[in-house]
Amino acid sequence: MDLHEFLTEIIPTLASLIEGVGVLIILYGCVKSLYLFLTDRLNLSNNQPKLELAKALALSLEFKLAAEILKTVIIQTIDEFIVLSAIVILRVVLTLVIHWEIKSTNSEERE
């Protein structure tokens, strides 16, 4: 078995595990944000639950992006490359928007 065959066999499993970690981070962030929101008596002006959720989403997107980068090793057609590129671009844009939201929320709290 050569290296390419080995990578073709193992990368989908590794990518799925890494994406699973991203899903777990999203679930944790949702539960933590909901807890903070409920303990603050549904106070919509408190930004802490929003910040916690945004941080969890940003981190989970990083894991999901890592999985997509791993998948680039086993791309065999231009169609797969186009789809994977679109997914990566979308995730990078989402990450940038979430980081921007975190920064703007943090700057609002300081004022």
Q: How far apart are CA 51 and CA 106, in angstroms?
A: 8
User: pTM for this one?
Assistant: 0.82
79-106 pLDDT per residue, tens:
988 998 999 899 899 999 999 998 988 8
Q: How far apart are CA 104 and CA 72, in angstroms?
A: 33
Q: How many residues does the chain have?
A: 111
DSSP symbols for 32-79: HHHHHHHHTTT-TT--HHHHHHHHHHHHHHHHHHHHHHHHGGG--SHH
66 class by beta-carbon count within 10 Å (0-12 exposed, 13-18 middle, 19+ buried): middle
9-68 pLDDT per residue, tens:
999 999 999 999 999 999 999 999 999 999 999 988 888 999 999 999 999 999 999 999
